[in-house]
Amino acid sequence: MAAGAAPSLSFGPFLWGPRADLLLFGGSALCSFALVGAARAVGLAPGPLPEWGWLLFVVAVDVAHVWSTLFRTYLDREELGRHKWRYLGVPLACWALGALLYAQGSMVFWRALAYVALFHFIRQQVGWVAVYRARAGQRGVFDRVLDDATVYAATLYPVLHWHSRIATTDFAWFVKGDFVDLGAGAARLLPAAQLVWVGLLGLFVARQVMLAATTRTLHLGKLVVVLTTAAVWWLGIVRTNSDFEFTVTNVIVHGVPYFALLYAYAVARKHERPDILGSRIVAGGVGAFVGLLLLLAFVEELAWDRLIWHDRPWLFDSSGVELSPVWAALLVPLLALPQATHYALDGLLWRRGDTRTRPAQRRALGFSA
């Protein structure tokens, strides 16, 4: 380097390496954009999600990624022994609360679950950014507040937009009408919300540029997570009005990086405890890991269809049972238990305290063991 020349710009830190991070976060977003563009080009969008799309995006990504939490919890007998009351009590509490809600009306249950799911999706993006911030050693209040506020704005502005036009929206989180129709009240807030959305995104980008100029390090991973979050939530909710486009933009960016995290954890755990069930499964490679999750996702959807929905006879046969209201109040929350438990446990499993004390978790998140 010539005398007086500025040092070259570096990029990072990353969780799994620059290629992996950019592929999993940036690549999953680009994939969803490409699918939306291709679907529009061939006339699939705007429109409903086709059956092949349901299999590929809902079953193989959204439902399957929920089951991947098993590798952090129920497939590890040492972890079960450490927190046996957590892993027994959380599902029991979720089922009991779900049954109580469903007894008040099916929409009460679905609405509560939809808002919990929404919170989970948002918090996952906040969590990724927090990990990148920790990896970079950023402990200042300003960056933490700005990062969190930007992610919340990037997600909640589209959600507010959604709530302003529930009646004309052609997609739903779980079932039609699960979100509350705020109508004109939400619409009046949109101009101010849009200003906050644009302002925080602009401030966030400016902050990253300023840090890059002063430290000669661009936190590219964090930047990609925030900007792709803003882009996919805006595209899938604000710019379009289509079940296909919402599903594609919603589930890929959420599910694919989570698969990677749990696989990284399972591999790291295998080196510590090769005897536990999760380690024996992942010893078969990524195929065994994904294969188990796809099998569990398919079985779950089979149960949903035969007992509740009865809307895919081409795949699950036309036979089924009609449930009484009492049985529905008991079985629907039971069938939703994998999701509800995933939402509840995910807020506990990846906390800083657990990361500090679990070498496998530290390695999975990119920290030294």
The model's pLDDT over 185-234, given as tens digits with 9 standing for 90+, comes to 999 999 999 999 999 999 999 999 999 999 999 999 999 999 999 999 99
pLDDT tops 60 at residue 4: no
CB 109 within 8 A of CB 98: yes
The stretch 50-62 carries a mean pLDDT of 98
Q: Residue 141 is inside which H or E element, if any? A: helix 141-163
Q: Which residues pair with 217 in a beta bridge?
A: 10
The stretch 271-299 carries a mean pLDDT of 98
Which stretch of 9-13, 118-122, 214-218 has the lowest confidence by average pLDDT?
Answer: 9-13
Please report, for the chain, the start and end positions of each structural domain, with discontinuous segments joined by +.
Answer: 49-364
pLDDT by residue (tens digit) across 221-270? Answer: 999 999 999 999 999 999 999 999 999 999 999 999 999 999 999 999 99
Name the nearest CA neighbour of 113 among 347, 332, 345. 332
The overall average pLDDT reported for the chain is 95
Name the nearest CA neighbour of 227 among 197, 257, 182, 183. 197
CB 335 within 8 A of CB 307: yes
Q: What is the Cα–Cα distance from 39 to 60, expressed in whole angstroms?
A: 19
Name the nearest CA neighbour of 9 among 202, 223, 228, 204. 223
- Secondary structure letter of residue 11 according to DSSP: E
Between CA 229 and CA 235, with CA 234 as vertex, the angle to 5 degrees is: 105
pLDDT tops 90 at residue 317: no
Q: Residue 158, preceding bond cis, omega within 30 degrees?
A: no
**What six digits make up the tokens of 122?**
């948002």
pLDDT tops 90 at residue 353: no
pLDDT band at 6 (very low <50, low <70, confident <90, very high): low
Q: What is the Cα–Cα distance from 190 to 184, expressed in whole angstroms?
A: 10
Q: Name residues whose C-beta falls within 8 Å of residue 246's C-beta, 6 or more positions apart in sequence.
A: 171, 236, 237, 240
CB 162 within 8 A of CB 169: yes
**What six digits make up the tokens of 260?**
């990677």
pLDDT band at 7 (very low <50, low <70, confident <90, very high): confident
